[in-house]
Amino acid sequence: MNNSTFQPIHEIGFSELIKKLGAYKGTPRKEILEGIGDDAVIFSSESEYSFSASTEIFMEGVHFDLTYHPLNHLGYKVVTAAVSDIYAMNTKPFQLLVSIAVPNMHSVEMVEKLYEGIDMACKDYEIQITGGDTTASHQLLAISVTAIGKGNKNQVIYRKGSTEGDLICVTGDFGAAMAGLRILMREKNEWREKGDLHFRPDLENYEYVIKRQLFPAARKDVIRLFEENNIIPSSLTDVTQGVVSAVSNLANASSLGADIFLPAIPISLETRKVADEMQEDVDKYAFYGGEDFELMFTLPESKIKELEVLFDDFAVIGKMTDKKNILKIDTGGEETIHIEI
């Protein structure tokens, strides 16, 4: 290798790297209706259905920490992460391929515990485990999952598709998974510092946020609600890297901008309490915190009332504008923030 061209990844960051890798496309195929750039690939079946597929990889030490993540919860979470992308296309998952690479010193029971969680999630999401790869790893546990889903071909929803004036809606609340992570890391540090084998972490008042971090669920219920009531949002994505990233993805995909009203973003009381304790800004948890696995979608204003009658776990947080590449955040106070997206 020519060292003069050596550029470490951290210099450009992963999002730049991902952009560069997008240049490698292989052979374009007519079966592919939507490839890289949305939450999942959409491919044609030549029937009334389209299929969706999404894959994720989880590395010990980066994406999970076995000192506080029970393996069954971890198994559940990796499935949630994969199917959330399938729901984000308004399709429903029906199968999961799982690959694990596991150090030899791990026990059979540990792997079974992980699979108990995967199995439980697959039962909840109504998907069959159809295959995978189980192999050795040198040091760390790695888990890769691919979820495949399907939907009526006329009802697939993309990140693109919204028009100016469409309202931006979100399910659930935000920043809770991030708050949970903060608490778990604090307790882990305390345990390390004390070096006390009998140390019991103080998690009693943080049940909600810890559950959101360790054992999150994807919004199958919302996709079913859309189907049963024939609601077809103009655009849809899942929120896995915070509200700002999701709004940006929807706005950019439709060459629009967005206005967000900050006080409208749902944040739970427990999440607020954690941010206070940590002396951190709770809005940052919601804006940039990952792994909420909620849905964000756009609808014309005229459709909102219809949805409100059916469903109360959603909030309107803003609207799409013609200010391309600009996210305007109204803080509810004197300040207005403009972010280039």
Footprint (CB under 8 A) of a second copy, residues 79-98: 94-98
With residue 145 as reference, give the H or E element that holds it.
strand 142-152
- Site membership for a second copy, residue 304 (CB under 8 A): no
Q: Beta-carbon neighbour count of residue 23 at 10 Å?
A: 6
Q: Is 314 helix (H, G, I), strand (E, B) or coil?
A: strand
Positions in 196-225 near a second copy (CB under 8 A): none
Q: Are 57 and 256 in contact (CB under 8 A)?
A: no
- Site membership for a second copy, residue 152 (CB under 8 A): no
Interacting stretch for a second copy, rule CB under 8 A, among 34-42, 174-182, 208-216, 314-322?
34-42
Q: Residues 67, 112, 190, 300: which binds a second copy (CB under 8 A)?
A: 112
- Site membership for a second copy, residue 21 (CB under 8 A): yes
Q: Residues 80, 89, 90, 107: which binds a second copy (CB under 8 A)?
A: 107
CB within 8 Å of 280: residues ≥ 6 apart: 182
CA 134: distance to chain centroid? 25
With residue 177 as reference, give the H or E element that holds it.
helix 176-194
- Site membership for a second copy, residue 61 (CB under 8 A): yes
- Site membership for a second copy, residue 24 (CB under 8 A): yes
- Site membership for a second copy, residue 160 (CB under 8 A): no
- Site membership for a second copy, residue 1 (CB under 8 A): yes
Dist. CA 158–CA 88, nearest whole Å: 8
* Residue 26: CA count within 13 A, CB half-sphere: 6
Minimum CB–partner distance for residue 115 and a second copy (Å): 5
CB within 8 Å of 155: residues ≥ 6 apart: 90, 227, 232
Q: Are 151 and 92 in contact (CB under 8 A)?
A: yes
How many residues form the binding site for a second copy (CB under 8 A)?
89
- Site membership for a second copy, residue 231 (CB under 8 A): no
Name the pairing type of β-strands 128-137 and 92-103: parallel
Please choose, from the candidates 107, 250, 265, the residue with its C-alpha nearest in 3D space to the C-alpha of residue 176. Answer: 265
- Helix 176-194 and helix 207-214, axial crossing angle in degrees, nearest 10: 100
- Site membership for a second copy, residue 57 (CB under 8 A): yes
Interacting stretch for a second copy, rule CB under 8 A, among 54-62, 228-236, 290-298, 320-328?
54-62
* Residue 247: CA count within 13 A, CB half-sphere: 33
Minimum CB–partner distance for residue 196 and a second copy (Å): 19
- Site membership for a second copy, residue 310 (CB under 8 A): no
Minimum CB–partner distance for residue 108 and a second copy (Å): 5
Positions in 126-145 near a second copy (CB under 8 A): 126-140, 142, 144
Minimum CB–partner distance for residue 261 and a second copy (Å): 32
- Site membership for a second copy, residue 150 (CB under 8 A): yes
- Site membership for a second copy, residue 281 (CB under 8 A): no
- Site membership for a second copy, residue 56 (CB under 8 A): yes
